[in-house]
Amino acid sequence: MMKAVSILTALTLAAVTSAHISIYGVWINGEFQGDGRHVYERTKFNIETNGPVRNPDWSYIACHTLGNREQHKWLEVKAGDTFAPEWFWSKRGDMYSGNHVGPLLVYMAPAVSTGVNTPNIWTKLYHYGYNATDQFWADDYFKKDATPTRGHHFVTIPDVPAGDYLIRSEIITLQEAWALNGAQHYPSCVQVRVTTDGKKTLPGGVSFPGTYLPNQPGLRWPPYGTEIADPTNYPLPGGDVWEGSPGGGIYGLNA
């Protein structure tokens, strides 16, 4: 169903990136489920697949280098379920962001046969940028909470029609975002099968690639032409959260 990424292209990408942040697996209602879509994998060619995607015009911006491949496993969910990806740095439980700080964004799309790069299929379910009170970015909280939920954020599954969907979680780190294509994107997609038959159809409108632009505020940070980056004014990319989304959160936020 999803178009495969060539080994040559994957090798080229791996040559210019190093391993950083990725999703180890997924929790549903507090129960560990595995990954559901090879969200992290070291291939037989020893290719690390959790380095950053830097160019938002690349097709990998949707689900990373291996995330566009359909897997046999679909994680069954119902409307109202808590869906919680578990992020890590180099090994499970070591969520250390260092200077790799930035926002968290979560999108959902129907698993269409034309693939993850089909225009306008994605809908934003949740985002979080910077907390001026704590002076923390979204991924700062990932290393703040207790061990059982360290590295976790969550969204609540919306009341959408039954069917197959992808949930795309993304961390964008901004330590090099002053340069063109300097923002580092870490997207991971997970396959879910919604078993309840809701009435709220995802409106879509977001495209990967297409919605993110290299010079846009939020990806070029500080804003192009300035030397000042006030995180309290950080503009989250990707538009507004869908009003039909039940929302989400980050474990450890304000704890």
Per-residue pLDDT reduced to its tens digit, 153-171: 999 999 999 999 999 999 9
| Predicted local distance difference test score (pLDDT) of residue 49 | 56
pTM: 0.87
Separate counts of helices (H) and strands (E) for the chain? 1, 12
Read off the pLDDT band of 11 (50, 70, 90): very low
pLDDT at 115 over 80: yes
| Diameter over CA atoms, the chain | 50
pLDDT at 222 over 90: no
User: Does 12 have pLDDT greater than 50?
Assistant: no
Mean pLDDT of 193-205: 97
DSSP one-letter code for 8: H
The two structure tokens encoding residue 224: 């192009």
Average pLDDT over all residues of the chain: 82
- Domains within the chain, CATH numbers bracketed: 21-238 (2.70.50.70)
Dihedral (C-alpha) 134, 135, 140, 143: value to the nearest 10 degrees? -40
Taking only the tens place, the pLDDT of each residue in 14-46 is 323 344 677 888 899 999 887 644 444 433 333
Q: What is the pLDDT of residue 110?
A: 97
- The residue among 120 and 228 whose pLDDT is bigger is 120
DSSP tag of 59: G
Does the pLDDT at position 66 exceed 90?
Answer: no
Beta bridge partners of 168: 107, 189
Across 92-112, average pLDDT: 86
**Per-residue confidence band for 50, with pLDDT thresholds at 50, 70 and 90:** low
Q: Which three-class secondary structure state does DSSP give residue 85?
A: strand
